[in-house]
Amino acid sequence: MDTKTKSTLKSLPPLKRLLAAIGAAAFWLALWHIAAVIIGKEILVPTPLAVIRRLIELVQESSFWLYTGATLLRIIAGFGLALAVGCVLGTLMHLSRTVRILFDPLLTVVRATPVSSFIILALVWIKGAFMPVFIAFLMVLPIVCANLTEGLGAVDKGLLEMARVYEIRGLRLIGKIYAPSVSPYLLAACRTGMGLAWKAGVAAEVIGRTAHSIGNMLYESKLYLETADLFAWTAVVVLLSRIIEMLFVSGVGILSRKYGYAKEDDDNGDNAQ
C-alpha cells in the first residue's frame, strides 16, 4: 500500500475505517463464493463457508495447536535471530567500509536467490526442525542489514556534531539521536521481514516435510486433495502473520512513545523500504 493511500485510510474515523475493511472483505468473499459456485467442484475451489466450517473443526483438535505453536516458534526464532544479527552486522557495515565491501555482495546474492534454492540446499545441510528457522533467518537478514545501514546513514550530521560538542556519548547518544532516526527504518524492515519470514519458513516446512508443522499439514492437504483444509491452513498462516506483525508494531510504538522518540514511524518506515 502506498503512502498516499495509507494516509487517506488513516484520516478516516475509526468506524468508517472498520466499515471500509468489512466492505472490502465482503466484496472478495462474495467474488470467491461466486467463483466456487460457477466452478462447482469443491476439490478445486471450496466455498468460503466450507473453509470456515473446516477451520472451526481444526481449531477444536489438539493437534492444531501443537502444529501451529511449533511453526510459530520456528518463525519467531528465525525472525528474532535475523533481527539480532542484522542489527550487529548493519552497524558494523555502517562503521567499517571493509565490512561493507565484504558483506554487500553476499547479502545481494541472498536477496536475489530464489527461496526454493536455499530450501533445497538446506535440506542437504540441515536436518530436522531447525531448517525452517534457518530459511526464515536467511531471508530476513538482508532486509534488516540494508534498512539499518540506510537509517544510520540518514542520521542528521548536525545533531551528531552537537552531541560531540556537548560530549553526549554512549547510551545517551544512542537513545537521543540514533534511535529516533533509525527506528522508522528498522520498523519498516521488521514489517517486511515478518511477512517474508512466514512465507519462507512455511515454504521450508512444506518442502522439507517438517514434522508437527503447518507446512506439513499444507503438504498433506494437497496430497490427499483436501482443498478446504489447504485453504483453512493458509488462512491460519495469514492471520498469524498479521497478528504477530500488529503486536510487534504496537509494542515498538509503545516503547517509542515511552522514551520520547515516536515521530511518524509509519510514514517514514514505509519510505525507508
What's the CATH code of the domain at 179? 1.10.3720.10
- Tens-place pLDDT, residues 240-267: 998 988 888 787 777 766 665 554 444 4
Furthest-apart CA atoms within the chain: distance in Å: 74
Residue 21 belongs to some domain of the structure: no
CB 186 within 8 A of CB 144: yes
Radius of gyration for the alpha carbons in the chain, expressed in angstroms and rounded:
22
Q: How many domains does the chain have?
A: 1
Which residues does 169 contact at the CB level (< 8 Å), separation at least 6? 163
Buried b (16+ CB within 10 A) or exposed e, 73-83: ebbbbbbebbb
Residue 5 belongs to some domain of the structure: no
Give CA 122 to chain center in angstroms: 21
- Tens-place pLDDT, residues 126-153: 877 899 999 999 999 999 999 999 888 8
Residue 2 belongs to some domain of the structure: no
Task: Classify residue 60 by its DSSP letter.
Answer: T
Separation CA 232–CA 229 (nearest Å): 5
Range of the domain at 60: 48-272
Residue 33 belongs to some domain of the structure: no
Average pLDDT over residues 10-23: 79
- Tens-place pLDDT, residues 39-86: 988 889 999 999 999 999 999 999 999 999 999 999 999 999 999 999
Residue 36 belongs to some domain of the structure: no
Residue 252 belongs to some domain of the structure: yes
Separation CA 124–CA 117 (nearest Å): 11
In order of 23, 148, 154, 187, 256, the CA distances from 179 in angstroms are 38, 11, 12, 11, 9
pTM above 0.85, yes or no: no
Residue 31 belongs to some domain of the structure: no
Residue 233 belongs to some domain of the structure: yes
